[in-house]
Chain A
Amino acid sequence: MSCCAPSAELALDLTSTTSVLPSSQEIRLASRSLGDNLWQTDLSVPTVHCAACIQAIETALGRLDRVEGARVNLSTKRVAIRWRGDSVPPFVAALGRLGFQAHLFEADADKKDKTLAELIRAVAVAGFAAGNIMLLSVSVWSGAEGATRDLFHWVSALIAIPALAFAGGIFFRSAWNALRHGRMNMDVPIAVGVSLAYAMSLYETINHGDHAYFDASVSLLFFLLIGRTLDHVMRERARTAVKGLSQLAARGAMVQRGDGARDYLPVGEIEPGMRLLIAAGERIPVDGKIIQGASDLDCSLASGESTPKNVAPGAAVQAGVLNLTGPLTIEATAAAKDSFLAEMVRLMEAAEGGRARYRRIADRVSALYAPVVHLTALVTFLGWMAATGDWHRAMTIAIAVLIITCPCALGLAVPIVQVVAARRLFENGIMVKDGSAMERLATIDIAVFDKTGTLTLGQPRLVNASSIDPAMLAVAADLAAHSRHPFSKAIAGFATPGGQHKFRAVTEHPGFGIEATDAGNTWRLGRRGWAGWKARTGGEGKHGYGGTVLTKNGMIVASFAFEDALRADAGSVMAQLNDAGVSVEMLSGDTADVCGDVARILGIDRFVPALPPSGKVERIEMLTKAGHKVLMVGDGLNDTPALGAAHVSIAPATAADIGRNAADFVFLRESLSAVPLALDVSRKAGRLMRQNIAIAIIYNAVAVPIAIFGHVTPLIAAVAMSASSLLVIGNGLRLQGFMLAELTRASSATHSGIHPSARSS
């Protein structure tokens, strides 16, 4: 890292096992042409932090050949590079030299900007109109009369037109959409109230009336739009951060044609029967069969197995698996749309459960609220008609009722709390993708965890380091630095600084280990049977990962034992969840032995091992049927359908792309304490939301009788509406206050929970 501590906001604990640098062909595929041989590439650089980072990146990239310019966007943590020519300049390598990891992201960024820009423009127009109309209204309230008042009303009516058309359009469209589908949402009473208020005021203006509600209808829109824009900004920020992580899926692959020619094709164009060349460190793009080469495969994302699998020609491989050590040639047996990955997506869509059925609190409230309000207004109208027979007076009062009950406070009550809560979570490295996710999380009573990659880090840790001769460990660490095998990485973490062993001719034998020579000695680090060719041993692998040794000239000098490292504070998290009244269960694709060990250490009573992806879904559906609300925490491709099936789901940042997209929450830091933290914040937010709704309803209970008896003037309406909105906003901001103390405690725990070994790679 060039300048800032990586543990700040977006401390990504992605180790390089999972982060494969995009190849120049991939970058080429993701670049867009600006015409005239000019290209633009957008890369996500999650670790940019400050002015120094911006400067370092922009200067270094600007110095590269054929690069026209580079511009860093600090808010989205992205860099846009414009370049000329046919081949891609080496920007990823240049960034790597500066200590920044860059990767490509899903290129649908343009869509979201439109909504945000529309919202901000609407806020601006509504703000302008509300400000000016309010000025004119104040003069009317303070006594302007006769022709002056009429003039002010007419000018107000004119200013309100663009505001209603432009800013109100958002609400009218949404309300119309809801009504057309026979539903009710908060926008229906808003749309009805605003347009009736405008129509009535216009009628009054034409007839030289006293009271016009132009200010009420426009400032209502203004307040509501602020809430909506904040909500959108918060969610978009989380989504951008999550999108920036998408790096795991292979975008394309090198295809070897029959005549020996090589082409780089996007994944979608790969057909069964094609031969693909997969270099070490790449992900396998489609299901296939190995034709040539031997290697170790990291299947942890696909199946949940934590031990790398040794493969040879003839073996079948699944899409999404990471090739670790040696180059492979595979024959595609399925197109991308029929591959394992696509199958998981289909399973997930089929399983779409609690989420689709869930209706947000705001919608549930408004489904009750809107009919009540409209009915009250109607009854008021009929009552005054019967009492006085003056239809104009009855109409004016009925519309005043509608205005005073227009759910201004209600429309802010929920979003304001969610924005504050989401911000709090964001600062703690937890991304919330959807406002309703917090509402759903607050209700859960069972948390289901995946094992590999969720409870554990999915990467091995050397457990017997203390019993190994330090000199030998140093040799092994230097050797191990030459390989990307997870075991090597675990050993390489023990390298002694400075004491570099000088090896000559280091070679990696895929599937076996690493060999090097030094001063006439041959060192090997790898499988027992291969490295210790002189040692007569057998069956000593008593540890789970047994069988990795360091040998000198064929004699074993050290043996290494590994264990899948548990996430820091996984045990205390289980206890915290139990305290919060949530029972914990573990579902895994791994073997019963390994699961049993982990369950024992963490104190989990219930676990189900060796489950296929559909098995996890069935288990969750069973729990749901039994009346439970299930939280699923998982990271693998095999967890994705379960993430979709659960009532609410959380994934770590290291999860597979589709898993991360399916989950409602994504946490970026290594510590699992994100789960109880999110639960706690969600529950507190839920409580505040209900309080806010209660405040809004109490306000109505007080204001409505005044309106019904005809005492509401535009001035009273304006004061009442603003007061209730401010009350609700103030109450929502309390979340920031009373969570601060606890969060500082929680976040300090999160920071200390970051594993030093994960950084060493």
Chain B
Amino acid sequence: MTILVYLMPVALFLGALGLTGFLWALKSGQYEDLDGAAERILRDDKPER
């Protein structure tokens, strides 16, 4: 029973962490161009100058 006192906050905290991460990614525009991101990964890096 007492184990629940630790486990439930831990579980909820991890879940909330995932949720915040998603909301942050959404806000920072990472979902704005899904097709573009899929293609960009195939592109070579620019040569260093």
Contacts and interface: CB of A to CB of B under 8 A. Distances in A.
Q: Do A and B form a real pair?
A: yes
B49 interface: no
A76 B35 CA distance: 9
Interface in B1-31: 1, 4, 8, 11-12, 15-16, 18-19, 22-23, 26, 31
A55 B43 contact: yes
Contact of A132 (B15, B40, B42): B15
A73 interface: yes
A72 B36 contact: yes
B39 A128 contact: no
**Residue among B4, B15, B32, B36 having the largest count of chain A Cβ atoms under 10 Å:** B36
Contacts of B23: 121, 124
Nearest to A116: B31
A54 B40 contact: yes
Interface in A107-160: 117, 120-121, 124-125, 128, 131-132, 135, 147-148, 151, 155, 159
Nearest to B42: A51
A155 B8 contact: yes
Interface string A37-52: 0000000000000110
A128 B36 contact: no
Contacts of A748: none
Contacts of A132: 11-12, 15
**Of A51, A76, A155, most B-chain CB atoms within 10 Å:** A51
B48 interface: no
B4 A117 contact: no
B32 A124 contact: no
Interface in A545-573: none
Interface string A95-117: 00000000000000000000001
A74 interface: yes
A128 B18 contact: yes
A51 B40 contact: yes
B18 A51 contact: no
B26 A117 contact: yes
Contact of B36 (A74, A121, A125, A131): A74
Given A55-B43, A73-B36, A132-B12, A120 B4 contact: no
Nearest to A50: B39
A118 to B, nearest CB: 11
23 contacts: A50-B39, A54-B40, A55-B43, A73-B32, A74-B33, A74-B36, A75-B32, A75-B33, A75-B34, A117-B26, A121-B26, A124-B19, A124-B22, A124-B26, A128-B16, A128-B18, A135-B11, A147-B1, A148-B1, A148-B4, A151-B4, A155-B12, A159-B12
Interface of A: 50-51, 54-55, 72-76, 117, 120-121, 124-125, 128, 131-132, 135, 147-148, 151, 155, 159
Interface of B: 1, 4, 8, 11-12, 15-16, 18-19, 22-23, 26, 31-36, 39-40, 42-43
